[in-house]
Amino acid sequence: MAAARPTVLIVGAGVTGLMAAVRFARAGWPVSVLDRGRIPNPSGASFDQHRVIRALAPTDPVATRRAAALRARWLALESLLDAAFYRRIGAVTAVPEDQVESAMNSARAAGLDVSLVVPSAMPLVRFPAGSLGVLEHDGGVLMADRVLHAAVRWLSRRPDVQLRPGQEVRAVDAEYGRVTLAGGVVLTADVVLIATGPWSRELVDVPMVLHRQTMIYLRPPADLVPRWDHAPAVGGVGRDGRAWLAPPGQGSLLKISSDAVCRDVPSFDYAPPDDARIWTSRLLREPILTDAYRYTFVAAKQCHYVTDAVSGGASLIRLGPNVWSRTAAGGDGFRTAPLAAERIAEAMAA
């Protein structure tokens, strides 16, 4: 008699949960995905127009190699899910001139196809003084909402996958692998993954820090739209080199954010007077765009994400024999989402 296939229960239908569902469904494991809202959930932390994909960490060759491998995973997923969601438009990282040689060495050691860019070659963007750009030709942006919709379409066609929207989880028993829903229904599985993003703090006892991030969305003037259509993503810009932009294209707006406007908050509803206005105004004043006054402000988004309180980044933690939790750190959490299920599968097989 064939051995029973392990069952998987995933709480949270953001990018981590959906990528994990795809991984386990491909292995033939019965999978159930729960979410408190719709699937995919437009109010979830993963739902957005785009996420920048760049591999270069100028002073960290090891991190650069890992990130380069991740890009190959996303290309494979694009093929598997039969959806076009990766815009290979390149990604530029602004680097101080005295770090350019180190950055180029890191890139080449990781097998990246890169070249130097002088600021005058990108007149739409203001580079920090004394910096040059390192262009990753294979970099670009993931159209984030398209990733989620593509995964849902693929999963919906799998007979052993159940997508269950509108399911609010009230408690998780990590020792016994039990998930309790509102109303008292208890679910169990051979593998349980808690991937509810910033809401994970309500379900698992893991030290996490809650962050609030401001992002702004702009519309370029009509005469610049053709120039932006094939412009690369850019990081390392802004007053202190902590900002990045995802260019408009394929129906998306231009998005700008910066670590300078990321702050720790005690709760979702923490709202000092004029919080959104103050941080949005600060981001709008960042020296990122040439002739910024010509761009139309469309919207600002105040999003939340959590990081591991010890490492300060994304982490995958084994809470019990068969229960896992993933904290996801903003854009990095999206980019590294395909790794979570791989690590769980490896651990369960060991």
Confidence of residue 164 (pLDDT cuts 50, 70, 90): very high
Task: Compute the distance between CA of residue 196 and CA of residue 324 in angstroms, rounded to an integer.
Answer: 12
pLDDT higher than threshold 60 for residue 1: no
Distance of CA 90 to the CA centre of its chain: 18
CA torsion through residues 124, 130, 135, 136, sign: negative
Question: Which whole number is the average pLDDT over 210-239?
Answer: 94
Q: What is the DSSP letter of 28?
A: T
Helix (H) or strand (E) holding 188: strand 186-188
pLDDT higher than threshold 60 for residue 2: no
Task: Compute the distance between CA of residue 256 and CA of residue 215 in angstroms, rounded to an integer.
Answer: 6
Q: What is the pLDDT of residue 330?
A: 65
pLDDT higher than threshold 60 for residue 350: no
**What's the order of all strands across the beta sheet hosting 169-173?**
169-173, 178-181, 186-188
* Residue type (1 letter), 74: W
Q: What is the pLDDT of residue 340?
A: 83
Q: What is the pLDDT of residue 62?
A: 84
Neighbouring residues of 181: CB distance < 8 A, sequence distance ≥ 6: 34, 167, 168, 169, 170, 187
Task: Compute the distance between CA of residue 138 and CA of residue 225 in angstroms, rounded to an integer.
Answer: 22
| pLDDT tens figures, 21-66 | 999 999 999 999 999 999 988 888 888 888 888 888 887 888 888 8
Q: What is the DSSP letter of 168?
A: -
Task: Compute the distance between CA of residue 350 and CA of residue 345 in angstroms, rounded to an integer.
Answer: 9
Question: Which whole number is the average pLDDT over 157-162?
Answer: 96
pLDDT higher than threshold 80 for residue 290: yes
Q: Which of 32-46, 145-159, 205-219 has the highest mean pLDDT?
A: 145-159
Whether residue 11 contacts residue 294, with contact meaning beta carbons closer than 8 Å, is answered with no
**What's the order of all strands across the beta sheet hosting 131-136?**
114-117, 131-136, 91-96, 233-237, 243-246, 254-264, 208-219, 296-308
Task: Compute the distance between CA of residue 94 and CA of residue 315 in angstroms, rounded to an integer.
Answer: 27
Q: What is the pLDDT of residue 190?
A: 93
Whether residue 222 contacts residue 294, with contact meaning beta carbons closer than 8 Å, is answered with no
∠ CA 305-148-233, rounded to 5° = 70
Helix (H) or strand (E) holding 31: strand 31-34
Q: Kindly list the distances between the CA atom of residue 177 and the CA atoms of 30, 37, 115, 197, in Å, as whole numbers in the listed order.
A: 16, 23, 50, 19
Question: Which whole number is the average pLDDT over 258-269?
Answer: 89
SS3 216: strand
Burial degree of 305 (CB within 10 A; 0-12, 13-18, 19+): buried
What percent of the chain has pLDDT above 70?
A: 97
pLDDT higher than threshold 60 for residue 3: no
Question: Which whole number is the average pLDDT over 250-268?
Answer: 91
CATH number of 1-50+144-206+311-350: 3.50.50.60
| pLDDT tens figures, 69-120 | 888 899 999 999 999 999 999 999 999 999 999 889 888 888 889 999 999 9
Helix axes 337-349, 61-80, angle to 10 degrees: 90
Averaged pLDDT of the chain: 90
Domain regions of the chain by residue span = 1-50+144-206+311-350
Q: What is the pLDDT of residue 205?
A: 85
Q: Which residue has the higher pLDDT, 116 or 230?
A: 116
Please indicate, yes or no, whether the overall pTM of this predicted structure exceeds 0.85: yes
DSSP track, 185-220: -EEE-SEEEE--GGGGGGT----EEEEEEEEEEEE-
Confidence of residue 329 (pLDDT cuts 50, 70, 90): low
**Secondary structure percentages of the chain, helix, strand, coil, to 5:** 30, 30, 40
Task: Compute the distance between CA of residue 254 and CA of residue 246 in angstroms, rounded to an integer.
Answer: 6
Q: Which residue has the tokens 């296939």?
A: 5
